[in-house]
Amino acid sequence: MEFLYAAHLGTCEPILAILKRRLDQAMGELQVPDPQNTGIILLARGSSDRVANGHVAEMARWLFESGEHDLVDIAFTGVTHPRLERVAQQQVRLGMMQIIILPYYLFTGRLIERTKHQAANLQRQYPHIRFARGEYFGFEEEIFQLLEQRIQAL
């Protein structure tokens, strides 16, 4: 059996489209979906590869520039910082009344389960703030198209 490594999904329009769709879904869960007082935390695993972490920051910037939200930050669940709790604390201090945690994950697993617990803990810690979580990526058409491109590039 031979394994070939393809380039990661990276920062691209199809991923941005998925994140925007997930953001719209999460905004729909809020009682008062106001982008001006709703912070977004783009949550990724994190890596020891600073280029990969830079792609997360770049995607957060794209998300900021493509929407109406005043605050889009990044946080990580492993390997690197800042952590979700610290970023949520900063957004609360900046006056956000609602916070959306938007996972930048391709599939479910232990880290997604951890983020559910973290979001519940944040809700208990800040009962006056409304938290919503977006879903991880699933079987979106954009993912299949990107995978096909990566396979063809091999």
The DSSP annotation for 74-109 comes to: EEESSSSS-BHHHHHHHHHHTT-SEEEEEE--SS-S
* pLDDT one-digit tens code per residue, 28-55: 999 888 999 999 999 999 989 899 899 9
For the domain made up of 13-153, give the CATH fold: Rossmann fold (3.40.50)
| pLDDT score for 2 | 85
Helix, strand and coil in the chain, % to nearest 5: 50, 15, 35
* pLDDT one-digit tens code per residue, 97-147: 999 999 998 888 888 889 999 999 999 999 999 999 999 888 899 999 998
User: What's this model's pTM, rounded to 2 decimal places?
Assistant: 0.91
User: Binning pLDDT at 50, 70 and 90, where does residue 3 land?
Assistant: confident
Kindly list the distances between the CA atom of residue 139 and the CA atoms of 3, 18, 73, 108, 136, in Å, as whole numbers in the listed order: 23, 11, 26, 12, 10
Indicate if the pLDDT at residue 10 is higher than 70: yes
